[in-house]
Amino acid sequence: MTSYFRTDRVHAFFIVSVVIVTRLLTASVYMAATSADPAAMTGWSLMAAFAFLGLIEHLFLVLPVRDAAL
């Protein structure tokens, strides 16, 4: 099981993808906050929630945190 939880160097692609997901997250939150349609607000809120969860997941995979600590 230790092979699944190894830490490695951060590559440029990781930084670019984190920036893209952060921009997606901020755009989704903005669109949800300014939407007048309840269906669109729900859709943008779900997109923001999934983007946030994906961002947190990727940060946990890169940070040197032991799996027992999680």
Question: What is the number of structural domains in the chain?
Answer: 1
Answer yes or no: is 30 within a domain.
yes
HEC readout, 2-51? HHHHCCCCCCHHHHHHHHHHHHHHHHHHHHHHHCCCHHHHHHHHHHHHHH
Whether this prediction's pTM lies above 0.85 is answered by: no
Answer yes or no: is 67 within a domain.
no
Answer yes or no: is 32 within a domain.
yes
Residue-number span of the structural domain to which 28 is assigned: 12-62
Q: Could you read off the pLDDT of 41-60 as tens digits, one per residue? A: 999 999 999 999 999 988 87
Average pLDDT over residues 10-30: 91
Answer yes or no: is 56 within a domain.
yes
